[in-house]
Structure 1
Amino acid sequence: MRKKIVLTIAVLALVTISLVDYALSRPAEPVTFNWNGSGLTDEVVVPLRPEEDAIHLEDDENYFEWWYFDAHLENGYSVVGVLHARHMGSGQPETLLEIHTPTGENLSADKLYSESDLRASAQECDVWLGGNHVHGHYPKYHLFISEGELEADLTFYSQMQGWKPGEGKFFYGDDGYFAWVVPVPRAQVEGTIKIGDKVIPVSGTGYHDHNWGTVDLSKVISYWYWGRLYANDFTLIYADVAAKKHYRNTHVRPLMLACSDQILLSTGEVVVREGEETFSQEANRAYPAHLDISVPGKVSVTLEVKEVTEATDFLEDRNPILKWVVNTFLARPAYFRFLSDFTMHVEHEGQTYDLEGETLHEMIAFE
């Protein structure tokens, strides 16, 4: 046992020294994100092509890709379903299904698959992973995931065309890229969910986005915030992606505001202010219990966290010594999903709108 501990400490020391040496020996690199216009705003919003929601297989050790769906349902349930062509952590295809019940219970099922279980189109969204399937194009998508005691069989009827900020790709120097497109910013959802033997008909509002890339996100990103809000006819989607020091601590902050099926604003000229932090024992790190997000003169949003629906410490199952070293000297990597109340103020064509509601949003931290 003593020998194992000594070896573990030695290896950790070497890894830490190597990381520091690597960071100090490399010149800082830029984060490049191209908008379709001057400055940080899309003067023209380019429509999504069906192949942008297809698979993007890359011959790269850091390749990852997933299709994300969520639904906020009228009966108080919410659902998150994800198919990974290659998961960033496991390096394998993987499914995830989460159901949040009206009583606050979080139910989750996930499964790793082999590459031979994955079938996917390069022309449009049509992905099979075992018996699980996501497919569709504007305006109709279908999600079916069945793992363990949980099942979701949901159809998403998109209420507006898809969106991507700028060209949809974040480039981290020569280290690779991270792509984000939103084929379904807002949808009417109908179908069923199943918990054990209980089948529940559901309807509500949903969302679908798609991410892929060739960069190790844990090495280039410090943290990100992401969320979407629905209030009357308004839809707002935002992200705040903060790069690490080696990438000059650059923030890329895409935001989309739409009314009905018309995109009013697609921009990166966004101000984000964090409120007082609250420490989570489950995630072993703090999170801001309050966020202000604004595009001055256009839109402002305040988010107040009322429930942490998921908090995950990425080092929870690691060797205690390794965890202590990483937490003390390097990072506190964690994931949060929040249920928050929001207020939103919109100014458009001489009119002002004050709205409020409830939404899901997330935070991922790598350091």
Structure 2
Amino acid sequence: MEQQALARTAGEDADYLRLGIAKDRIEPWEDGARTDNSAGTYEWWYFDAHLSDGSKVVVSFLNKMISEADKPLDPTLMLNLDLPDGRSFEKVAKFEASEFSAAKDHAEVRFGDNSLIGDLRSYRIVAEIEEVSVDFTLQAEVPSWRPKTGHMYFGPGEEKLFAWLPSVPQGKVTGSFTVAGQRAEVTGVGYHDHNWGNVGLPSVIHDWYWARGQAGPYSVIASYITAHEKFGYEAIPIFMLAQDGTIIADDSKLVRFETEDIRIDDVTAKPVANITRYSYDDGADRYQVTFTRKNDLSRSKMIDDVHGPKRVLAKLARFDGAYLRFSGELSIKHFRDSELIEEYQDEAIWELMYFGHAR
């Protein structure tokens, strides 16, 4: 009998039936609230964009901090803006539970006057923290997608869940951002996804690389998740490649992941690959997607987000989580029968989420 993987992405017919979702169709309710916000669960809605003036923006609506899934509802808004003149803003704001709302039949998340609202095709993202505010519209150019059911289970019994829905793998962004009263009207390329689960991520995941980008006619989402040690460091590769708005490759079994030029980050003490590469080979065609780090957009230790007695407990437990976000070059190469037939480069954003101790 074949041994069941300790970590897997659910993709059998029975999984779709049990979850009430279709293989070939994603419904707006899948981007709506999927948890009850209780202790032990977490959920967040994420948006990022590369803008026409060279700026980069990330907005995250979290029902609680990732490192504190055991807490009750604790709405947290994160707004990061990197400007081409070198200025960088990393803003975090907390809200009362009474200021939080999230619809179940579509994406409509509100933290006070801040909101992310959409229907898989069109979204509006409005956020303001201190002197920085954004108001963007995101129009989908690549259809919603998920790796199989989008539900990843850890351990026997399939009780431990991490779920992921790239609601807009790529879209057109229009709108504005304001810094200290100075408003800039911009366009750009954006992305939106939605995550949720029923167990704290540090207890099931050791680390992950996650990236998305666009170059030439291609759009890509790529991730390499490594499960916690107790799940045998099981690897969960994820890959989606679209050409001219049509998904052409997304079978994770055909992906090979590689890292090169690894260094130890001087802030988080985590090993960081300056080059990450995803190779997809279906026999006739081979795609090589490479991310080359140029700049660090964010480097932080998760324990800095834990306060009070829990911070003491986290230190005693040697909690060592870290988050790093990078910008750099995305290269997409297309080979056919070993011959390079096309190649494109562009800018991209990607991240390294590291919950465990360095291996």
TM-score range, shorter chain: 0.7 to 0.9
Instruction: Report if aligned partners of 2:216, 2:345 keep a CA contact under 8 Å in 1.
Output: no
Deviation by residue 1:250-297 (Cα, 9 ceiling, x = unmatched): 111110011112110112121111112222222232211111211124
Change (3 A) 1:214 1:224: same
Q: Using the TM superposition, give the Cα deviation of residue 340 of structure 1 relative to its aligned residue in structure 2, in angstroms.
A: 1.5
> Match for 1:96: what amino acid?
M
Could you tell me which residue of structure 2 aligns to residue 304 of structure 1? 292
Aligned counterparts of 2:256 and 2:97: Cα–Cα separation in 1: 42
Alignment match, 1:360 = 349
**Aligned counterparts of 1:306 and 1:284: Cα–Cα separation in 2:** 19
Residue equivalent to 1:52: 30
Distance (whole Å) between structure 1 residues aligned to residue 88 and residue 260 of structure 2 = 26
Superposed CA RMSD: 2.5
Unaligned runs of 5+ in 2: 14-21
Which residue does the alignment assign to 1:15? Answer: none
Q: Is the 8 A contact 1:304 1:340 kept in 2?
A: yes
Counterparts in 2 of 1:316-327, with a 5 A limit? 316=304
Write the distance in 2 (CA, Å) between the matches of 1:102 and 1:287.
24
Deviation at 1:324, TM superposition (A): 7.9
Partner of 1:278: 263
Shift of 1:117: 0.9
Paired residue type of 1:310: S
Task: Give the number of equivalent residue pairs.
Answer: 331
Q: Among 318, 325, 342, which residue is 2:330 paired with?
A: 342
User: What is the CA distance between 1:325 and its match in structure 2?
Assistant: 6.7
Say which one has the larger Rg: 1
Which residue, out of 8, 30, 55, partners 2:6? 30
Give the TM-score taking structure 1 as reference length: 0.84
TM-score by length of 2: 0.85
CA distance in 2, matches of 1:358, 1:262: 21
Name the residue aligned to 1:78. Answer: 56
Opposite residue 53 of structure 1, the aligned amino acid is: D
2:211 aligns with 227
SS at match of 2:303: coil
3-state DSSP of counterpart to 1:56: coil
Where does residue 115 of structure 1 map in the other structure? 97
Q: Residue 161 of structure 1 is aligned with which of 143, 149, 166?
A: 143
Question: Does residue 1:268 correspond to 2:259, yes or no?
Answer: no
State the distance in 2 between where 1:347 and 1:322 align.
Answer: 51
SS of 2:30's partner is helix
C-alpha offsets along residues 78-101 of structure 1, whole Å, 9 cap, x if unaligned?
A: 110111123333541111111001
Whether the 8 Å contact between 1:66 and 1:87 is mirrored in structure 2 is no
Does the CA contact (< 8 Å) of 2:23 and 2:149 recur in 1?
no
Q: Relative to 1, partners in 2 of residues 1:187 and 1:280: Cα closer, same or farther, differing over 3 Å?
A: same
Q: Shift of residue 105 of structure 1?
A: 2.2
SS in structure 1 of the partner of residue 63 of structure 2:
strand
1:93 is aligned to 75
| Gap regions ≥5 residues in structure 1 | 1-27, 38-43
For 1:289, what is the secondary structure of its paired residue? strand
Separation in structure 1 between the aligned mates of residue 279 and residue 198 of structure 2, nearest angstrom = 31
SS at match of 2:66: coil
Which runs of structure 2 are paired with 1:135-284 in the superposition (5 Å)? 135-173=117-155, 174=157, 175-269=159-253, 270-284=255-269
Change in Cα spacing, 1:322 to 1:299, as seen in structure 2 (3 Å) is same
1:332 CA drift (Å) = 3.7
Partners of 1:36 and 1:237 lie apart in 2 by: 22
Give the stretch that moved more between structures: 258-267 or 88-97: 88-97
